[in-house]
Chains A and B, each alone.
Chain A
Amino acid sequence: MKVVQIAGFLGSGKTTAIIALSRSLAEKGKKVAIIVNEIGDVPVDAKVVSEYGLKVRDIGGGCICCELLVSLAYTLEELARSYSPDYVLIEPSGVSIPSSVKDGIGLAKGLNVEKGPVIVLFDGERGQEQLSDEDLGKFIKRQIAGADIVTINKIDAIEDGAARSHEGLIRTINPNAKILRISAKNGLGLEELVKLII
């Protein structure tokens, strides 16, 4: 069971990306389950994901990188027992720290878990504006620093110059991450991302 995080700040496109990735993996014959974590008490994203016929578990009312770390481990164990997925895609809340979510994955006992890449979505439209906010900026940099792959999302909505500027900025934060440009909405760049997950 390979576990992959699709992290990123609020509104960066995680749910859209996770739906597109899950469908692509399913088309390749892989069994996929999704864990969705939301800050609020009600799981809007999980309801949306389930409309696509995808197997989903929601963990709400907190963040799986801290107070709900153990819930994440239990959910992984339950999915392994009941569904035996090839891949589990985790959508943490928009304010989660990817490295801490990785710790939660490690708490799941007795599972043959392969930790897949940590993917962090960077909002192509708002990312630079968010980075210039003192508090948000520090937080988002921390998310980016914890990534194996940073995907600049919403590439369909921005100019090439803006995308290049984002890449430069991301490289200063995380020189080792692979950087991709994608549009989760219309599928641009997704196949390359799927190849990095498989």
Chain B
Amino acid sequence: MPHEDRGEVPHEEEHISISGYGSTFLLRFSRPFSPEEIKVLVADFIKTVEASLMKRSAKGIGHIKLYIKGRSGYIRADTIGSKYGLYMDGTISELEGSVQMTINTIAIHTTKEDVFIATREGLEDVAKRYGFIVEDLKS
């Protein structure tokens, strides 16, 4: 079965309607962000993407995974749905002017288009709220 560029790979043998989108971005902050501020931003972003997916009639979150790399370390965050909480850990220890963020959003019973839109719009919303610029590094 052909592989789709947008990140959804229809599974050959099963009809479980899983759609995913992943990409890497550079986030340039308007001022240096502390590790705590980055964690708040990450939590807000994941919450925003989940809400957007559920609004678009996704049946549930498969998995939303983030990896953020700064000069002073990394943060890893993931959720299987806000009902189960958000897991976060990492080693970022200093103020960061910019970070690289890699995200994989996987949702259940929704279209790949909706996963793509929910993720990208979530990122734009959070960028406006926290004052940073987003650059695509890989799409």
Contact = CB atoms under 8 A, between A and B. Distances in A.
A40 B80 contact: no
Bin chain B's interface residue count.
35 or more
Interface string A118-137: 00000101100000010110
Contacts of B24: 42
Contacts of B62: 10-11, 94
Most chain B C-beta atoms within 10 Å of own C-beta, residue among A44, A100, A135: A44
B120 to A, nearest CB: 14
Given A45-B65, A136-B108, A39 B12 contact: no
Nearest to B1: A67
A150 B43 CA distance: 32
B52 interface: no
Interface in A56-77: 61-63, 66-67
B11 A95 contact: yes
Nearest to A61: B3
Contacts of B111: none
Contacts of A42: 22-24, 102-104, 138
Interface in A30-87: 38-45, 47-48, 51, 61-63, 66-67
Given A10-B18, A95-B11, A95-B18, A41 B23 contact: yes
Given A41-B138, A48-B76, A67-B1, A10 B63 contact: yes
B1 A41 contact: no
A39 B102 contact: no
B132 interface: no
Nearest to B2: A67
B22 A41 contact: yes
B20 interface: yes
Which 8 A/B pairs are nearest by Cβ-Cβ distance? Answer: A40-B22, A11-B80, A10-B62, A42-B22, A40-B104, A66-B12, A10-B63, A11-B63
Interface of A: 10-11, 38-45, 47-48, 51, 61-63, 66-67, 94-95, 97, 100, 123, 125-126, 133, 135-136, 138-139, 142
